[in-house]
């Protein structure tokens, strides 16, 4: 079925290095993608989004890349800091019949090593 999934459940990164979190999706008609960060004991927090008419979008220390050819989404975090420790979810919002429904990936836990 249609789904959004992540390749790695846990990612360990040295503090100061760049982090790359990956996500695959299966619906080629999907047109909007979002990355959320969820710290322990908190609700998800919007990080960055991208529409399907774009390949790349940059925020503060974060970049999202969208490769529609292989249906792949990635989140890059530059100069990873301890405060980046969290679970990161990609989510896909399919308009059409499900205006409200966010299709969530499984999540990747990012661990920062000192």
| Binding residue (CB under 8 A) for other proteins from 7, 20, 49, 71 | 49
Question: Is residue 32 part of the contact set for other proteins (CB under 8 A)?
Answer: yes
The CB density around residue 59, as the number of other CB atoms within 10 Å, is: 13
Coil, helix or strand at residue 99: coil
The C-alpha atoms of residue 99 and residue 12 are separated, in whole angstroms, by: 35
The C-alpha atoms of residue 112 and residue 81 are separated, in whole angstroms, by: 7
| Binding residue (CB under 8 A) for other proteins from 27, 63, 85, 93 | 93
Question: Is residue 14 part of the contact set for other proteins (CB under 8 A)?
Answer: no
Q: How far is the CB of 16 from other proteins (least distance, A)?
A: 27
Q: How far is the CB of 82 from other proteins (least distance, A)?
A: 20
């Amino acid at each position: 079925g249609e789904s959004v999934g992540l390749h790695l459940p846990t990612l360990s990164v040295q503090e100061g290095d760049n982090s790359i979190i990956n996500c695959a999706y299966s619906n080629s008609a999907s047109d909007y993608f979002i990355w959320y960060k969820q710290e322990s004991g908190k609700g998800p927090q919007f990080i960055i989004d991208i529409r399907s008419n774009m390949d790349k979008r940059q925020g503060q220390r974060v970049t999202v890349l969208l490769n529609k050819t292989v249906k792949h989404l990635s989140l890059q975090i530059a100069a990873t800091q301890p405060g980046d420790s969290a679970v990161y979810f990609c989510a896909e919002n399919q308009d059409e019949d499900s205006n409200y429904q966010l299709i969530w990936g499984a999540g990747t836990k990012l661990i920062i090593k000192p």
